[in-house]
Amino acid sequence: MFTGIVEELGSVKALRRDAGAARLTISASAVLEGTVLGDSISVNGVCLTVVDLNKSEFSADVAVETLKVTNLGDFKIGMQVNLERALQLSARIGGHLVSGHVDAVGRIRERRVEGNGWRIFIDAPEAVLRYVIKKGSIAIDGISLTVADVDKTGFSIAMIPHTAKLTTLGYKSAGDSVNLESDIIGKYVERLLSGRVEGNVSLELLKQNGFA
């Protein structure tokens, strides 16, 4: 589990493919402190397990399914990526709960200057958009951001200079792909209200007990 608060920008050192899967090697520094084999690190919002590391880099295996549903397969040598270590229970949650399990890949529609920052418009598939609400949270390439507005094909976020400086979103432009993970709470609420869980929890039941 992560918070969506990026700790540092790493860079892609290698992406070696093997039988459809891949081994990804990332140069880093801050996220390597205290990290051991088997730990999880979020790379552009994708939860990966560390299988090898030294003082300046770590490697992770990327499954075939992960390559299908994320943009990790498009990585190039030298490309910068957002990095975050898994959440510690003693840490402050500055963003929102992010699982690192990407729902889909979106695409930046437009990047527009707005005040001292930018408004970023992102097209998203319905599988993600159904959980996106105005003022709600969403993870974009692993960055916890607040949704500014929603339309029929996507949504927009307001990017401040701090976010632009410390994450890859500051370097991206129209046409670029981004990994999207919708707020996990919305998924659980939908499942509860649909009555598809054990115990037959339904909207009517929630109303009867004062939860809706």
Q: How many domains does one find in the chain?
A: 2
Looking at residue 18, what is its pLDDT? 84
Residues of the domain holding 36:
8-85
Give a yes or no: residue 14 inside a domain: yes
Catalytic residue among 2, 58, 121, 155: 2
Give a yes or no: residue 20 inside a domain: yes
Q: Which one, of 2, 18, 170, 212, lies nearest residue 102 by Cα?
A: 2
Tokens 């992560």, residue located: 2
Strand partners, 139: 144, 181
Give a yes or no: residue 185 inside a domain: no
Catalytic residue among 29, 91, 127, 146: 146
Give a yes or no: residue 33 inside a domain: yes
Residue 136 and residue 147 in contact, taking contact as beta carbons nearer than 8 Å: yes
Give a yes or no: residue 94 inside a domain: no
Q: What ranges make up the beta strands (E) of 115-176?
A: 117-123, 137-140, 143-150, 154-159
Catalytic residue among 29, 30, 56, 63: 63
Looking at residue 38, what is its pLDDT? 95
pLDDT in tens, 47-89: 999 999 999 999 999 999 999 999 999 999 999 999 999 988 7
CATH number at residue 33: 2.40.30.20
Active site residue 163: no
Q: How far is Cα 177 from Cα 78, in angstroms, rounded to an integer?
A: 17
Q: What is the mean pLDDT of the chain?
A: 90
Catalytic residue among 11, 25, 27, 40: 40
Active site residue 40: yes
Q: How far is Cα 166 from Cα 204, in angstroms, rounded to an integer?
A: 46
Strand partners, 122: 108, 155
Local mean pLDDT, 10-residue blocks, the chain (212 residues): 94 92 96 96 96 96 93 95 89 80 96 94 95 94 96 96 94 96 85 63 64 58
Percent above pLDDT 70 for the chain: 91
Strand partners, 16: 23
pTM attached to this predicted model? 0.83
- Would strands 143-150 and 137-140 be described as parallel, antiparallel, or unpaired? antiparallel
Catalytic residue among 28, 47, 60, 139: 47
Catalytic residue among 29, 30, 49, 127: 49
Same domain, 78 and 129: no
Give a yes or no: residue 91 inside a domain: no
Active site residue 75: no
Give a yes or no: residue 211 inside a domain: no
Same domain, 79 and 115: no
